[in-house]
Amino acid sequence: MKKIIYSFLITLLCIGLNAQTPVKDKELSNAEVFSAKAGALMQKEFIEIGTLKKCKIQVVYFTDLISSTKQSALKFEYEYVSSYSTDTKAALLDPDEVTGLMKSIKLMQDKIFPTTPTNYTEVNYRSRGGFEGGCFTSKGTWSTYLKLEKFDSKSYVWLNIEDLITLYTYLEQAKSML
């Protein structure tokens, strides 16, 4: 009888483990999905927009040379250097997300930065692919950042509030090319 009970419990445990939902893969922008398409001969063209705090900003044109379909995106690329290695962090924003980021920057400049919250406060914009841009209060002042990869604490690019003016200019320039 004990063998039957143990066998039953082990079976239930195995069924429960197999029923777990799988861990979600990295979220992808539309441009990343397009550029990773199987069965395509993909051409990538990179156009430099500028650099902000060692973060390179580029417009990328993806062309499937077989089907002649195209997609564009804005790329942020940052090289994280530690004492042991160097790692490149990157994010792609679709054209509609660039517009959303621009609106977010304007709202932060016009409505968020003039305030001084009494409690710790965070404000952020997040893209489909996990890119994040935002600000938070630290000792009564606002700190701003870009985070290129959602689950990577080494992908932060720390900005000053004044850097957002330069970033916005780069975004305007890139938007006209997307």
Please give the model's pTM, rounded to 2 decimal places. Answer: 0.81
Answer yes or no: is pLDDT of 162 > 50: yes
Q: What pLDDT score does 83 carry? A: 84
**Architecture of the 30-175 domain:** 2-Layer Sandwich (3.30)
50, exposed or middle or buried, with CB in 10 Å at 0-12, 13-18, 19+? Answer: middle
Q: What is the pLDDT of residue 84?
A: 87
Task: Compute the distance between CA of residue 40 and CA of residue 69 in angstroms, rounded to an integer.
Answer: 10
Please determine, for residue 177, whether its predicted confidence score (pLDDT) is greater than 70: yes
The tokens for 140 are 């009564």
Give residue 3's Cα distance to chain centre. 52
Domain ranges for the chain, please list them. 30-175
Looking at the predicted structure, is the pLDDT value of residue 169 above 60? yes
pLDDT tens sequence across 78-130: 999 888 889 999 999 999 999 999 999 999 999 999 999 989 999 999 999 99
Q: Compare 170 and 1 and report the one with higher pLDDT.
A: 170
**pLDDT for residue 82:** 84
Count CA atoms closer than 13 A to 155's CA, side-chain side.
16
Query: pLDDT digits over 27-82, tens only?
Result: 889 999 999 989 999 999 999 999 999 999 999 999 999 999 999 999 999 999 88
Separation CA 133–CA 158 (nearest Å): 10
Q: Give residue 50's pLDDT.
A: 97
What pLDDT is stored for residue 46 in this prediction? 97
